[in-house]
Amino acid sequence: MRIVVGQGSCGIAAGAEKVRQALIKEGFTAPELTIAGCIGMCYLEPIVDIYDDNGDVKRLVKVSEMDAPKIAEYIRTGNIGLISDLLVSEEDAQFLKKQTRIALRRCGIINPEELADYEKADGYSALKKAVTEMTPEEVIEVIKTSGLAGRGGAGFPTWFKWNAARQAEGDEKYLICNADEGDPGAFMDRAVIESDPHNLIEGMLIGAYAIGAQNAVVYVRAEYPLAIKRLKRAIKQATEAGYLGSNIFGSDFSCNMTIKAGAGAFVCGEETALIESLEGHRGMPRLKPPFPAQSGFWRKPSNINNVETFANVGWIINNGGEAFAAMGTEGSKGTKVFAVTGKIKRSGLVEIPMGKTLRDVIFDIGGGIKDGKEFKAVQMGGPSGGCIPAELIDTVIDYKALGATGAIMGSGGMVVMDEGTCMVNMAKFFLDFTAKESCGKCVPCRIGTTRMLEILKRITDGNGKEGDIELLEELCYGIKDGSLCGLGQTAPNPVLTTIRYFRDEYEAHINSKNCPAGECSELIEYYIVPEKCKGCTLCARNCPVDAISGSVKTVHKIDTEKCIKCKKCYQSCKFDAIIKR
């Protein structure tokens, strides 16, 4: 019997550590009581898995520390009735069952702090195979066969980068892992490092072997302390076990690994800016060419891949490139992890084969929209990505097909929006992010994004002018064309796609000073429908500025002059008598 408490950052934030402490009080200790990383069902945290001796599992969800006595009692008595309210529902279980997990295959299952757990789950077998049975060229060939493409955003073929770095002249080469996961709403990289750090180390070592690097660096954002802690521990374990260091598996291949904590700049996800930062400079992109494969870290040939990319490598070596390539579409192979958030019923990490549709992710796995609202759009790829409207819900998950919509696969962030989301406001939100994160080097990005933001602000404030949409479009194309790096080149995407699919919403803001989604507070007012108001006084009591008048059992009225549009009345009314207009 084993009790496993899911302890990724998200689980801990939801109270997993308190649950574990409560279970300790009930008398459970290691190895019986143990931890795992993140299973990816954010909306059900904290999660406790109870394995019986046959390996069957009872999954308990939304567990609180108060539940510990019940759980203890169940374990002693086997009375399932005690925990029936905690058992994951069949419907929720589908969230995982419908996924195909490769990168996340061990996440939430093994203990990320124990090397032995990893080894038991085939750990380091792929590295052994690569180093002892394959030449670096053969490794690159397998990766080429697999069709693995960069999972960080750009989707560049991994083998090509590896090959370029392998071919580059120089004895000293570097392999770098980009774990600067900066897209708001994306957290799959964190989940991999927190839940399966050795998988990243193994994938990186195979990459280092392939390109001939003696040094590997993981650039992790400093905002991921748990990931850094677990990765540090894993590097120490791997070094002690001989997986890292000199003559790995008795071969000529030697490699060290270090961690560099990033200082929190989004632009450091751009590979040349990341290198600048690694070298101790201000994180600003370099002009390309030369590409890092020729001149990267310390001007030596370097290869940079994202965490999720490396997380697939071990599996590919063990199962063969063909097995990976068997999944997906003509141009996009294998699986992709999505971090699904927003107005969706079941939020979390979803790994599915390429070729599935957005509908599969949002409705089949994610369960559709919360609170019975209508699905409006999904923002794919974070602030660099674009917005895909409801009518394109059947778009296939494929680099090319997603690109055609104006969005991108990106790192896999998916923010789901319902009818209550104003698309202009949404575009403003993402642009605000990129404008603040611009490194300041090139003019179109540094000044252009701020000018765009100013225009969007005036539109959502009801001060939009005729010609603003065209001005935005001109700026969008100017910034895309003129920016130095990916940050600027993609920053206009949320604006461009929302103009493309929701131009009427922009026009409504500008021409009729109206926000159709009812979200822009400058453009709406709250109104009490007299026919529906019961005179319960709840709204008046909730109003912080005494803008609502009316006595018991009489129709209430909002003084729009006083109203600060805090939404409290709207949320408190039990009779849906308060509307936005």
Q: Which spans of this chain sit near another protein (rule: CB under 8 A)?
A: 265, 282, 284, 287, 289, 435-444, 446-451, 454, 471, 474-475, 478, 481-484
Least CB distance to another protein at residue 118 (A): 38
Under 8 Å between Cβ of 192 and 104: yes
Using the structure block, give the residue that is written with the tokens 């009314």. Answer: 573
If the CB atoms of residues 451 and 500 are measured against another protein, the closer one turns out to be 451
Name the minimum Å distance from CB 156 to another protein: 16
Q: Which is nearer to another protein, 458 or 534 (CB)?
A: 458
**Secondary structure element (H or E) that encloses residue 576, with its range:** none
CA-to-CA distance for 9 and 366, rounded, in angstroms? Answer: 21
| Distance of closest approach, residue 503 Cβ to another protein, in angstroms | 20
222's enclosing H/E stretch is none
State in angstroms the smallest separation of the CB of 439 from another protein.
6
**242 or 467, CB closer to another protein?**
467
390: left (phi over 0), alpha (psi -120 to 50) or beta: alpha
In eight-state DSSP terms, residue 396 is B
Output 91 or 279, the one with its CB closest to another protein: 279
Which CB, 184 or 482, lies closer to another protein?
A: 482
Q: Is the dihedral of CA 462, 466, 469, 474 positive or negative?
A: negative
**Nearest Cα to 402, choosing from 310, 497, 269, 309?**
497
Is the torsion defined by CA of 273, 157, 352, 106 positive or negative?
Answer: negative
Other beta carbons within 10 angstroms of residue 431's beta carbon come to: 24
Close Cβ partners of 244 (under 8 Å, ≥ 6 residues apart):
201, 205, 235, 238, 255, 256, 257
**CA 111 to chain centroid:** 22
Q: How far apart are CA 314 and CA 119, in angstroms?
A: 13
Question: Could you tell me whether strands 174-179 and 215-221 are parallel, antiparallel, or unpaired per DSSP bridges?
Answer: parallel
Minimum CB separation of residue 489 from another protein in Å reads: 9
Cβ–Cβ under 8 Å, residues 376 and 389: yes
Closest to another protein by CB, 462 vs 482, is 482
Residue 240 or 481 with smaller CB distance to another protein: 481
Q: Which is nearer to another protein, 322 or 481 (CB)?
A: 481
In the complex, least distance from residue 447 CB atom to another protein, rounded to whole angstroms: 4
Is the separation of the CB atoms in 475 and 451 below 8 Å? yes
* Residue 175 or 484 having the CB closest to another protein: 484
CB atoms within 10 A of CB 507: 18
Q: What is the dihedral of CA 353, 359, 364, 366, to 10 degrees?
A: 90
> 330 vs 454, which CB is nearer to another protein?
454
What single-letter amino acid sits at 421? T
CB proximity list for 372: less than 8 A, separation 6 or greater? none
CB of 519 to another protein, least distance (A): 23
Taking the least distance from each CB to another protein, the nearer of 242 and 440 is 440
For another protein, the closer CB: 119 or 473: 473
Nearer to another protein, 99 or 295 (CB): 295
- Closest contact distance (angstroms) between CB of 477 and another protein is 9
Minimal distance in Å, beta carbon 430 to another protein?
A: 14
Phi and psi (nearest 5°) for 254? Answer: -125, 140
State the minimum distance, in angstroms, from the CB of residue 383 to another protein: 13
Q: Least distance (Å) from another protein to the CB of residue 434?
A: 9
Shortest distance in whole angstroms from residue 245 CB to another protein: 37
Closer to another protein by Cβ: residue 346 or 441: 441
Residue 115 backbone phi and psi in degrees, to 5: -65, -35
Residue type, 262: G
Please give, one letter per residue, the 3-state secondary structure of 507-559.
HHHHHCCCCCCCCCHHHCCEEECCCCCCCCCHHHHHCCCCCEECCCCCCCEEC
Nearer to another protein, 404 or 471 (CB): 471
Shortest separation between residue 287's beta carbon and another protein, angstroms: 5
Least separation in angstroms between CB 415 and another protein: 22
453 neighbors 432 (Cβ within 8 angstroms): yes
Q: How many residues can be counted in the chain?
A: 581
**Residue 171 beta carbon to another protein: minimum distance, rounded to whole angstroms:** 24
Exposed (0-12), middle (13-18) or buried (19+): which is 122, by Cβ within 10 Å? Answer: middle
CA-closest candidate to residue 246, choices 212, 288, 214 = 214
Q: Which helix (H) or strand (E) holds 42?
A: none
H/E stretch holding 177: strand 174-179
Tokens of 233: 């521990």
Quote the distance between the C-alpha of residue 269 and its chain's center.
14
